[in-house]
Structure 1
Amino acid sequence: MVKSELVRVLNEKLPELRESDVELAVNCMLEQMIAALAIGERIEVRGFGSFSVRQRPPRLARNPKTGETVNLPAKTAVHFKPGKEIRDRVDSTRDQSRITD
């Protein structure tokens, strides 16, 4: 779901709120999540999942086109672990989706 789609859906569920207010609330929430992750905090959204920051060490990789060895620097990555509810819902619709193994 794209952010504008999220705003539209929330606005339909909460028609008493102006679309601009819903958009402001969504943007504030996302900004706070980004700020928390930027300082290394873990975020948990019950029933949805958790976000955390992981450090990846430097490593040697290979360019698949040329076969040349490349040094990749250390980096910080955001990790998402889905909660049980979201895993179960996604699993239950697997046969209806275009996802293949």
Structure 2
Amino acid sequence: MPWQVRPEGLDLRVRATPRGGRDGIDGIEVRADGLAVLKVRVRAAPEDGAANAAIRAVLRQALGCPAAAIHLAAGATARIKTFRIVGDGPDLARRLAAAAGG
């Protein structure tokens, strides 16, 4: 899975697709290196943090949590990003699995 449950919530690996034509979650992908990522596409361009903000909004909507609970932990300018989400880790994992189609 692209997430790891932690005592304070979970860490989530995302593969970002900016300028993707729509905002949404496209499922889970296991890359050639074995790393699992949640595929998220957004309409926003990767300029001035707009795509990162749009990804946060997609995650917020899918998880039903406040925007303040979602923090970009790593990969601000990279295609693979890590988001730290504060809350009930097992519940967040269930919601992500449902949003990813699994």
| TM-score above 0.5 | no
More helix by share: 1
**1 or 2 for the larger relative contact order (CA 8 Å, sep ≥6)?**
2
Sort the TM-score into its range (normalised by shorter chain).
under 0.3
Q: Decide which structure has the larger Cα Rg and report it.
A: 1
What TM-score does the superposition give when structure 2 sets the normalisation length? Answer: 0.26
